[in-house]
Amino acid sequence: MPSTERPEPACGFSGDALIKETCRRIRLARGYWDAHNNLACRTERDRALSLYETLSKEQRGKIPQVLRVWLRYRSEKYFGAGRTEPGKR
C-alpha cells in the first residue's frame, strides 16, 4: 500500500518548525511587497510557496488565513503566469 504522507522538505524543517518558517517567509514577502521591492518579494514568495506545497492539509490549516489568502490569491494576480508583463522603459 503506498504511503499518503508527504516527503519531508529538503530545507530541514518539519512539524511546527516548518509551519513557523512558512509563516515567516510569507510575512517577509508581504513586507517586501509593502516596500515596493518586487524582486525580493517574488523571491520570498516563491520560497514560501515551495514550503507551503510540502505541508499537509492539517498543517495548512494552522497557517493564518490572511497569510494563506495573500500567498495563494492576491500575490498570484501580480506574480502569477497570467499577469501583465511590466512595460519597457
Q: What is residue 79's three-state secondary structure?
A: helix
Predicted TM-score (pTM) of the model is 0.74
pLDDT at 4 over 50: no
Tell me how far CA of residue 41 lies from CA of 7, 11, 14, 65, 68, in angstroms: 27, 20, 24, 19, 15
Report residue 27: phi and psi, to 5°. -65, -40
Could you give the CA distance from residue 64 to residue 40 in angstroms, rounded to a whole number? 22
69-81 residue pLDDT tens: 988 877 666 777 7
6-43 residue pLDDT tens: 444 456 777 889 999 999 999 999 999 999 998 899 89
> In terms of C-beta density within 10 A (0-12 exposed, 13-18 middle, 19 or more buried), how is residue 7 classed?
exposed
